[in-house]
Chain A
């Protein structure tokens, strides 16, 4: 079994986000995902990695591993970190009754991500007795190995 392509950053910071996006884009583009679907996956990965670096690590450098796993008709991107457990699926958007002109800027990332991928899974690494998260983003619509390209 071939090892999934992996990008490991021992001390990731916000300036590494471009590298994370390029890594995911480069692999996603070889799977037959439509260009717009590749963009969506890259968008969701950027949002989740940004959350880890900005909120999880509070701006301090920390480890981040990105793994791209091409399965049957779908692409899974796994993000692993050592930040305090946070499940983006449980996050509730801010009150949108407040008009834009009086709204605090922010809160866009998680709802945007939800719309960009087909599935988001989260597993906290608490069983290992340590901090850390494993987040999986699934995008369907890759080229099946049985179908012609």
Chain B
């Protein structure tokens, strides 16, 4: 798990994940999201090119990252969230502008699509196009 500056003038940080995103690894990703938010990151591109498996825990991590980046209190995956009072986006149920994904492929991409998460988090094939979309 590494981070890169996305360059350009939009202040996008790239979080590059590698390996399997499952119930034993997803909490570290959420924790990294909290740290990045605390460091001032508000636009995050998650690079999943090197992720070969993503379980529902990984989907929880992606959903949680998006919520953290829009200023929600960090979740406790075991106990869930309280009500959200400071919503900036998504009142219509569409996407949000803080988190995007690039490089999701195979079963990882299918999991994002089948659960409808692509309605909320845009998935790009190309990194530059993803950066330009913020």
Contacts and interface: CB of A to CB of B under 8 A. Distances in A.
Contacts of B64: 105
Interface string B95-123: 01000000000110011001111011000
A105 B70 CA distance: 14
A39 B67 contact: no
A contact patch SS: helix
A42 interface: yes
Interface residues of A, number: 30
A106 B60 contact: yes
B128 interface: no
Given A39-B107, A40-B107, A99 B93 contact: yes
B18 interface: no
A43 B111 contact: yes
Please tell me the size bucket of the interface on B: 35 or more
A43 B93 contact: no
Contacts of A43: 53, 55, 107, 111
B80 A104 contact: yes
Contacts of A21: 20, 22, 53
Given A100-B93, A103-B63, A106-B77, A112 B53 contact: no
Interface stretch (B1-9, B35-43, B82-90): B82-90
B81 interface: yes
A50 B93 contact: no
A106 B76 CA distance: 11
A101 B89 contact: yes
B53 A105 contact: no
Nearest to B59: A108
Contact of A50 (B55, B70, B83, B120): B55
